[in-house]
Structures are given as structure tokens and as C-alpha cells.
Amino acid sequence: MIKLIVPLSLCLCLLFFFCYGFSNLQNSPDVQAQNANNAWDEYKKERREMVDQHIRARGIQDGAVLKAMEKVPRHKFVPANRTHLAYRDHPLPIGQNQTISQPFIVAYMTETADISKKDKVLEIGIGSGYQAAILGELAKEVYTIEIIPELAEGASKILNELGYKNIFVKTGNGYLGLPEQAPFDAIVVTAAPDEIPQALVDQLAVNGKMVIPVGDTNQEMVVIKKTKKGVTEKRTMQVRFVPMTGKPSQ
């Protein structure tokens, strides 16, 4: 019988390199991304049920929208103590007196905006970042403005962690829009002004759509379309959004 004698120093070196290498592997971007994907998968069933019961069943038919709603992890955009409520069809508080919109409304506004992969989209009020993520799944570029710096920073961090490279967050007054990036093929407004901001209408491209809740006590969803002949407005449903803050002149 031949005995293999391994020096103690070599054993220690092998143990060190194994532990160090395994630790680095666990901390590598690829492994971290895989861990994030596994966390998403924990809620895969809940997302599918949300889409089937609260979105598709209520009339949303656009396949790209349904796919985005089933993919984006809404639980990442709500406070940790409300993760268990993330896939129920109602809004949730996210701090700063703001809310994340109910899934059906997010899907409805996205489908109504009629977004394609070549479109440049403006979102007013990033809030949690969830609506922006859904838009980012459909559009070429999404520019989003948030007047509350803490929300803009938090949403931007989550979107970066999830790997979105086509969503650009700016802190500013949504009433003013983003004229340096106009025109936009679609504009989605996630807070309710008393009246439709003219600056946003001006920044809408020809054949573009804007979906915006309007009103104070009694709010209605308004769909605006700009054509070569002018602008049309259609009021579709009663809604309840947080008020849009800031002033048109600021």
C-alpha cells in the first residue's frame, strides 16, 4: 500500500484558497444576480395569480403589458413590512405621504398609453419606481421626474439593482416636464393635478398619448391624444390618486 503524505502547510493553503475562492464566488455579480432571480421566483406564483385574477380578468389584453406585470417583482418596490401585501390589488403606502398604485391601474395606464419598443416615454412621479419598471419593460427609453428627492433616490437605487439601463430618473417639478428630451411618444402621470399641465401637452409627440388622472375631490382618468389636427381628450373612469405637487410656474 502506498501512503500519500501531504505537508500540513499545503493543506492549509488549499483550505485557504478554497474558502477565499468560494467567498468571492458567492459575492460575484453573476451569483448576486442569480440570488436576486431566485428571490423573484419565490413570488412567481403570486405574480401569475395577480395577473390572472386582477388584470387579465378585468379586461387588460395587451400581451406585452401582461408579460411585464408578471415579470416585474412588485414586492421589491414596497416597504419590507408590507411585502406580504405586494400582490394584492390595492395601493400601498411607501412613505412621504405617497403610495404605490394598485396593479390594475398600473396595467390600465400602461396599456392605454400604447407603448412600443421604439418609444420614448415620460413618467411624472416615479414614487416607488414600480410603474417606471413596467414602462421600462415596454419602451426604448423612460425618463421619469420625481419632486421628492428621497423617493427619486430610493426608486433609482431599486431600478439599478434590478438592472434597468433604459430608465433615467430626475428630481424636479413634474408640471414642467422635461423639454430638453421632448417630444415623447407617451406620457404617464401618476399623480393628479387640478388641471392638465399645458407643458406636458406641448411635449407630447404627434400621434402620442398622455394618460393622466385629473381633479381634486372627484378625479377622472383622462386620455389625451395629439394629432396633426389637434388634441383630443377622453375621460374613461373615476380614480383616486395622490395630488400632484409643485406649481406650473416653478
Contacts of 123 (CB under 8 A, 6+ apart): 131, 132, 135, 142, 143, 144, 145, 187, 188, 189, 190
- Annotated catalytic residue, options 101, 116, 156, 249: 101
Q: How far apart are CA 37 and CA 76, in angstroms?
A: 12
**Lookup result for grid cell 407603448:** 115
The candidate with the shortest Cα–Cα distance to 177, out of 153, 154, 155, 196, is 196
Return the biggest CA–CA distance within the chain: 95
- Cell numbers of 224, please? 389625451
Whether 116 is catalytic: no
Identity (one letter) of the amino acid at 84? H
- The Cα–Cα gap between 64 and 194 comes to 32
C-alpha cell belonging to residue 66? 401582461
| Residues tagged active-site | 101
